Structure 1
């Protein structure tokens, strides 16, 4: 009898272990299936249907520009419009700085046609982004993509309000044509062949999972299929800096640099940035760095362009200590500096334009 009970007990333990194994395997399969579903690309209509509620139009009267010429007399005077993206349930919206620059009053038109007056929370000219707030909650914010997963060749859709309000929520499709494009030599951009026209500025560039990969900012005149978006890591940086500090705490070195001709033309080069001047209050002095010296690296990261220099500084905040590596003829010079804060010329948080 005792042996029989031991046999039954052992059989029960084997059954329990097997059942648990099947349960774990079943859970793993369910999780795997869920991951596959989340990674699965949607078709174009599905993506547009999913994100359209998160896309808005932005409009206002620009007090800085002169009245339009007679040929445009049938349009209301000095109206300026663009697009925007809802980034929080509580009514926060991202758009371009140049969309709202000079607007006395800013209005946001939702996908359903409802209009709300917007408060300008913060805007930054250098990165060309602005943050608005409307008095509306329970909105649908757009999901943000992982910048590490954005690759050349990824399919993307641009949505916005090109030309006039009659074309609200127009969609164009293309691919990511290039990464890290130093369009204005200040920061790097995403390049896309998805059509971006006047009025698309501030609108989203989304991937085929309906995630925000960039904020559309400009197209290139006289060239087809060369359009640019502010990448999602810049957007995240802008929002995180505002949430933490109420503004972008941009680093300042007081060193004026010049790119070599190869970098200006976009030709691959290993040459660093040439020091052309030291401003008053620079983080280095003439005993450490001289005109003509070459900045080769920051904390061991090679520097070959102004845009690359700014991208690396973007990873830091004022009072961070970093190591600059300069070269003077064949000599390497390491200088540890404490970064200062660049004077903020952007509009103050909470100020309504």
Structure 2
């Protein structure tokens, strides 16, 4: 016998369906108007312009020696007195990319820093000696020159409009593995990682490892929009957090390096700090934007312009200053 059983609502419990705590409605986002970049074709065309940089430098100094009972400065002095400072040759690998058919190669300064010999290996197998046209430690950029013409190049794009989530491709020589291509997206822009006064890094999850430094970060149009520079890793390998110098930071630096071999920057003469929401409220500002002047150097352009401690700079030379980190870069670009 089949019996149908109806359960009555328990006393005190509602009979209506409760409103869920979450919202499952899809976002009203229009589908992407274009397909994913043709990475296969872009890689074929761009890889010939990416180079392997091999450097040699000589380091002097005694290795840290220990006596039988552990660290002993007298033991160290004894060996230094009789054997002197030891010299050793250190070799390192990095990447770079050709930006001019006449042999100009853009890379990181730390790839070639203190190098006594620099060799650039082209995709066609040629290995050429390179000279340093100029270097800029503050942005970690260096411009090299090889004696060759008619070389393939990678065009420089515009990093100012780069959007988080945009697809990107990294090309380089991680661990000496030449012409390695990885892809990912832009994870963030404007990152400050403590590398220098002009930090403005692009963060990407495209795999970047030791040896990738100096290689290009490419957008979907086949243009370099960054110079791969650093990774965040506790193991030394890629964990999906890589950083690239925006190409818009590199362009004025490269121009000056090619012309004079060095970079000259504007100087304002202030120390600054961020405008926090609390400070913005105390100053009566509509939003927490700009750079708060903490001090002014005597005789500086800032003092001559009438800037005082406690002023908030929201615009410089016609350019908006939304964050305090932006002011040093804007001032530096002043002729």
- Pairwise same-fold verdict (TM > 0.5): yes
SS at structure 1 position matched to 2:301: coil
- 1:171 maps onto 2:166 in alignment: no
In the alignment, what sits opposite 2:145?
133
In the alignment, what sits opposite 2:291?
273
Please, which of 170, 178, 181 is the counterpart of residue 191 of structure 2?
A: 181
Aligned-pair RMSD on alpha carbons? Answer: 3.0
Report the CA distance shift for 1:205/1:292 in structure 2 as closer, same or farther (over 3 A): same
Q: Give the gaps of 5 or more residues in structure 2.
A: 1-33, 66-87, 279-286
For 2:135 and 2:241, the matched residues in 1 are separated by 26
For 2:193 and 2:48, the matched residues in 1 are separated by 30
For 1:239 and 1:64, the matched residues in 2 are separated by 29
In the alignment, what sits opposite 1:47?
42
For 2:243 and 2:61, the matched residues in 1 are separated by 28
SS at structure 2 position matched to 1:251: coil
Please, which of 54, 60, 63 is the counterpart of residue 55 of structure 2?
A: 60
For 2:35 and 2:304, the matched residues in 1 are separated by 57
Range with bigger deviation, 58-67 or 114-123 = 58-67
In the alignment, what sits opposite 1:122?
134
Normalising by the residue count of structure 1, what TM-score does the alignment of the two structures yield? 0.67
In the alignment, what sits opposite 2:213?
201
Report the CA distance shift for 1:154/1:105 in structure 2 as closer, same or farther (over 3 A): same
SS at structure 1 position matched to 2:303: coil
Deviations 1:122-170 (A, max 9, x none): 110111110000011110011222335532222111111112x2x1111
Aligned residues: 267
CA-CA distance at 1:67 after TM superposition: 8.4
Deviations 1:292-329 (A, max 9, x none): 44334324644353421023224421xxxxxxxxxxxx
Q: Is the 8 A contact 1:242 1:248 kept in 2?
A: yes
Q: Give the gaps of 5 or more residues in structure 1.
A: 1-38, 71-75, 264-268, 318-353
In the alignment, what sits opposite 1:285?
303
Report the CA distance shift for 1:61/1:239 in structure 2 as closer, same or farther (over 3 A): same
For 1:49 and 1:69, the matched residues in 2 are separated by 48
For 2:157 and 2:115, the matched residues in 1 are separated by 30
Higher relative helix content: 1
In the alignment, what sits opposite 1:266?
none
Report the CA distance shift for 1:103/1:243 in structure 2 as closer, same or farther (over 3 A): closer
Q: Is the 8 A contact 2:55 2:115 kept in 1?
A: yes
For 1:64 and 1:305, the matched residues in 2 are separated by 41
Normalising by the residue count of structure 2, what TM-score does the alignment of the two structures yield? 0.70
Range with bigger deviation, 172-181 or 135-144 = 172-181
Range with bigger deviation, 133-142 or 43-52 = 43-52
Deviations 1:247-267 (A, max 9, x none): 32310112122335679xxxx
Report the CA distance shift for 1:150/1:44 in structure 2 as closer, same or farther (over 3 A): same
In the alignment, what sits opposite 1:31?
none
Report the CA distance shift for 1:280/1:81 in structure 2 as closer, same or farther (over 3 A): farther
